[in-house]
Structure 1
Amino acid sequence: MGIVLKQSFRNTIIIYAAFLIGGVNTIVFYPRFLESEFYGMVTFLLSASNLIMPLTAFGIQYTIVKFYSSYETKEQKDRFLSSVIFLPIFIALPIGFFWDYFHEWIMSKVTKENQIIENYTFFIYLVAVACAYFELFYSWTKVQFQTVFGNVLKELWNRVIVMVLLLAVFFGFITKSEFIFYLTIAYIVRAFVMMFYAFSMYFPKFYFKLPDNFLEVIKYSGYIILAGSAGAILLDIDKIMIPGKDAIEKAAYYSVAVFIGSFIEAPSRAMTQILQPLTSKSLNEFNTKEVENLYKKSSINLLLIGGLFFLLVNCGVSELFKLMPEKGYAGGEYVVLMISLAKLYTMFLGSNGAIINNSKFYKVALPLAVGMSVCVYFLNELFYFNVDLGTDGLALSTLITIVLFNTVKLWFVHKKFTITPFTEKSWKMVLIILVLFSAFYFWDFSLPEIQIFKFNISPVINIALKSILLTVVYVYLVLKLRISNEIDSLLKKYYK
């Protein structure tokens, strides 16, 4: 776990810095500078591009991670990379050619009050293609076990650009419409930067000869492209469905709550960057013992770190919503709770997904992903459109779907590999989280209203005091019970 923790630690710092900037954008700048209607439209456009991106990428980002380490010679690796690098463009070109039909379909799914989307749908396509090639070249560097720079581009780049563009809107340098144009350009530039970095890490000799197992590569990509497309529905279908019933502003309100709830997954995103190629390498070498070792250690460490942020987010979220400028943003506490629970359960399962996607059983990813997308769609129809639970219903659909299908994945890995991510320490960690959640969730410090420049800072002080107290108790219990050897060693460097 040395290389995992080293790069995961760096990636976690990068991702939390990105979340901090994203938090300022989401909670402060977007609502005030872009306003809820235009913010909702940006949310819709980016979510729609996320749905198309897996199709455009043709699953190549996963294919590179899966197969690269299986080739023994440089020529085999170069023939493989030469063959896959051009595949996404063969998907992107036909989609672009028939985009008028996609445009008409998109507009048929939104209500008349949301026709503001009409003039911006082509940006969905451009962002999707740019993101597809970014992910391809990011995977190119992952298999060289270099994830930090790519993580900077993936997590920090867009958020910093968004902050700059929002400030440009505020000071009148650009219009709201130009904001979307320049943001699209930023996605395209990011893809090129990632390409140049990937080539600096490993520049292949390009062959016009396919690898010997090319049919297997295409077959795998076919499964993963479908699985990835279906899986993307789970992440973004909520925001896409909102304009079909309510004003697009609600997409902005829901997006803020989802962002806050997703804050806890940063360690998982950081660790996954390096866990995927390591798990693939261990599976290709038939080293089941190392696979199990990565499985268990990733589970306990992600639960430990994710558990702390789960508590910090949920125990301070009611005060956080008091800082929002519009009343529509308030009342999202249950959305935050359900989304963060779903993320925490996924983290609890450690490298479960990496094991399935990089093993000979990868085909099961397709029915699982399709099942998840179908499940969340019909649950959204039930809870959001029929029962009318509002955005709480969308979050509930996501929670139920993730818990159900991740449990199936847990059972599948146990059945095929006879391994689980759990140890005795796992249940101690669950107990710590439950006890501290019960103790800290239902109260806040009773503070008088404190005004600075007509801004009430009492919620900020409340969040800070509560977070400090909760963190101290949490870290003490983790160290006292010796939950994680890796975290113990890391923390002891600073408090000895």
Structure 2
Amino acid sequence: MGIVINQSIRNTIITYIGFAIGAVNTLYMYVKFLGDTYYGLVGYILSSANILMPLMAFGVHNTLVKYFNEYKTEREKSEFLTFILFLPLLLVIPFSLIAYFGYHQIAGLLAQENLIVYDYVWQIPVIGLSMGYFEIFYAWVKVHLQSVLGSFIKEVLLRILISISLFAVYFNWITPIQFVYTLMGIYLFVMLLMKWFAFRVRFPSFTFKRPSNSKAIITYSLFIILTGGIANLFLEIDKFMLNWYVQIENIAYYSVAIFIATVIAVPSRAMHQITYPITAKLMTENKLVELNELYKKTSITLQIIGGLIFVGILTNINELYVLLPKEYSGGIFVVFTIGLSKYFDLTLGNNNAIIFNSQYYRIVLFLGILLILVTVGLNMIFIPLYGLKGTAFATLLSITLYSLSKLVFVVFKMKLFPFSINTIKSFGVLITTFLVFYFWDFGFHPILNIALKSILITFFYTGLSYYFSLSEDINLILNKVFKRIGLK
């Protein structure tokens, strides 16, 4: 668990630096510099590209992690990596032809409610392809346990480049229309940069020969396309469907709320970068005892860290929205509902990595398809009735059902269980912290309120978690910190 904690901490720090930059972009620069209409357009384009990403990558970013450790010789690894690099072209080429010749029909369908979308639909597959190959090259370095620079490129550099472009809009160096094109160029650039780093870590010796298990690779990749697409649909289908029912400005309001709620999931994203390949290795070696221990540790660690962020957001949400234009205030309910679903998902630890690297991975496909149908149906019902609140509620139900179904499957089928008595204690700490601080207002400027309350919450919540020894790994890190500053 040492390498997990070490790189997870680095990835978490990098990711939160990225989120800090992203927070400035999302909560201020997009709102003030770009305006609601083009902000909504950008949100729609990026959400649609994220939905396409697993298709553009052919799912091989997960396949690379799953099968890499099975190859022992350098020749076998070269054959595998070459196969992985070119496999996505099986879908990219025909998909590109369909998109090119059917552009007017596709764009017309997507622009029924918001005509501004029509001229930018072609950017969706380009950005989706960039995202897809970025993840492939990112997986390339993950299997060599060198994920930190990849995290920096994805979480920090990307947002810095966007910030620079938004400043360019502010100083009238480029127009909002040109910013949309610049954004596409940024995603292409970071993909090429990730490729450069991946090839520095291990330059491929191109061997155009199918691996002996190519059938299993293709089958698993097709599965990942579907399951990865389902996972991305859960994250992005709300914004995609909002475009059909409401004015595009509402996507801007919803994007802000989703960004705030998504901060809760950052620890999971950071830890996932290193636990995924370790989980794959443990399952390949059939070390179920070690796997179950890793499962419990990731669960309680993520619950504690994510719980601190969750309660910090909930207790400061009213002050935060005072800083935004009144039009955005409807997103408070979205933050509460989506945040709750993210918190529950955190408590499942490396649940996804376990399922995707097991022989039972196909079960997720069945569950995912069923719940996507439920999600689309709920959105079709609730968006026309309740707008942003409706799609948030639909998303909460869908994600919770999906996460719960995967948990039940792992518990009963694989005999692995992530929870302990500390899970209940940690939830109790969260509830106690929320009740103590939610109704507490200093009466100062909102930014000062948020800063003071956040500091107090951090000490209170962390102190209780440390006192009850909820996580061995977190206590170990805190003890090292105390020793360095002379408190222990």
Task: Settle same-fold status: TM greater than 0.5.
Answer: yes
- Secondary structure at the aligned position of 2:246 is classed as coil
* AA in 2 matched with 1:490: I
In 2, the alpha carbon distance for the partners of 1:389 and 1:122 equals 31
CA apart distance, 1:177: 1.2
* AA in 2 matched with 1:440: F
Q: 2:397 — aligned with what?
A: 400
Q: 1:188 — aligned with what?
A: 188
- Secondary structure at the aligned position of 2:370 is classed as helix
8 A Cα contact 1:34 1:166, kept in partner: yes
Q: 1:108 — aligned with what?
A: 109
Q: TM-score scaled to structure 2, two decimals?
A: 0.96
8 A Cα contact 2:40 2:249, kept in partner: yes
CA apart distance, 1:103: 5.0
Q: 1:87 — aligned with what?
A: 87
CA apart distance, 1:102: 4.9
Q: 1:484 — aligned with what?
A: 471
Q: 2:298 — aligned with what?
A: 298
CA apart distance, 1:55: 0.8
8 A Cα contact 2:103 2:122, kept in partner: no
What do you get for the CA RMSD once the two structures are aligned?
1.3
Q: Which residue of the other structure, out of 442, 447, 450, is the alignment partner of 1:463? A: 450
CA apart distance, 1:158: 1.9
Q: 1:135 — aligned with what?
A: 135
In 1, the alpha carbon distance for the partners of 2:436 and 2:372 equals 36
8 A Cα contact 1:231 1:372, kept in partner: no
Q: 1:348 — aligned with what?
A: 347
- Secondary structure at the aligned position of 1:207 is classed as coil
* AA in 2 matched with 1:356: I
CA apart distance, 1:120: 1.1
Q: How does 1:85-484 map to 2 (within 5 A)?
A: 85-100=85-100, 101-112=102-113, 114-324=114-324, 326-385=325-384, 388-447=385-444, 458-484=445-471
Q: TM-score scaled to structure 1, two decimals?
A: 0.95
Number of aligned positions between the proteins: 482
Structure 1 stretches of at least 4 aligned residues deviating more than 3 Å after TM superposition: 109-112
In 2, the alpha carbon distance for the partners of 1:415 and 1:320 equals 42
* AA in 2 matched with 1:329: Y
CA apart distance, 1:106: 4.0
- What does the per-residue CA deviation read over 1:156-194, in whole Å, with 9 as the maximum and x for residues that have no partner? 122111100000000011111111111111111111111
In 2, the alpha carbon distance for the partners of 1:472 and 1:208 equals 57
- Secondary structure at the aligned position of 2:35 is classed as helix
CA apart distance, 1:493: 2.1
- Unpaired stretches in structure 1, ≥5 consecutive residues: 448-457
In 2, the alpha carbon distance for the partners of 1:89 and 1:463 equals 49
- What does the per-residue CA deviation read over 1:366-402, in whole Å, with 9 as the maximum and x for residues that have no partner? 11221232121111112212xx122111111111111
In 2, the alpha carbon distance for the partners of 1:27 and 1:67 equals 41
- Secondary structure at the aligned position of 2:69 is classed as helix
- Unpaired stretches in structure 2, ≥5 consecutive residues: none
In 1, the alpha carbon distance for the partners of 2:327 and 2:273 equals 36
* AA in 2 matched with 1:20: A
In 1, the alpha carbon distance for the partners of 2:57 and 2:99 equals 17
In 1, the alpha carbon distance for the partners of 2:250 and 2:183 equals 22
In 1, the alpha carbon distance for the partners of 2:54 and 2:41 equals 21
In 2, the alpha carbon distance for the partners of 1:108 and 1:417 equals 44
CA apart distance, 1:342: 0.8
* AA in 1 matched with 2:346: M
In 2, the alpha carbon distance for the partners of 1:382 and 1:173 equals 43
In 1, the alpha carbon distance for the partners of 2:438 and 2:159 equals 30
In 2, the alpha carbon distance for the partners of 1:103 and 1:289 equals 55
In 2, the alpha carbon distance for the partners of 1:445 and 1:102 equals 55
In 2, the alpha carbon distance for the partners of 1:153 and 1:9 equals 16
- What does the per-residue CA deviation read over 1:22-79, in whole Å, with 9 as the maximum and x for residues that have no partner? 0000111001100001100010111111111111111000100111111122221111
* AA in 2 matched with 1:393: G
Q: 1:455 — aligned with what?
A: none
8 A Cα contact 1:227 1:367, kept in partner: no
Identical residues among aligned pairs (%)? 40
Q: 1:102 to 1:423 in 2, by over 3 A?
A: farther
- Secondary structure at the aligned position of 2:277 is classed as helix
In 1, the alpha carbon distance for the partners of 2:169 and 2:475 equals 46
* AA in 1 matched with 2:269: R
- Secondary structure at the aligned position of 2:173 is classed as coil
* AA in 2 matched with 1:389: Y
In 2, the alpha carbon distance for the partners of 1:246 and 1:216 equals 43
8 A Cα contact 1:61 1:136, kept in partner: yes
In 1, the alpha carbon distance for the partners of 2:205 and 2:459 equals 54
- What does the per-residue CA deviation read over 1:378-430, in whole Å, with 9 as the maximum and x for residues that have no partner? 11112212xx1221111111111111121111111112221110111111001
In 2, the alpha carbon distance for the partners of 1:491 and 1:199 equals 37
230-239 vs 249-258, which deviates more? 230-239
217-226 vs 199-208, which deviates more? 199-208
CA apart distance, 1:201: 1.0
8 A Cα contact 2:110 2:117, kept in partner: no
196-205 vs 28-37, which deviates more? 196-205
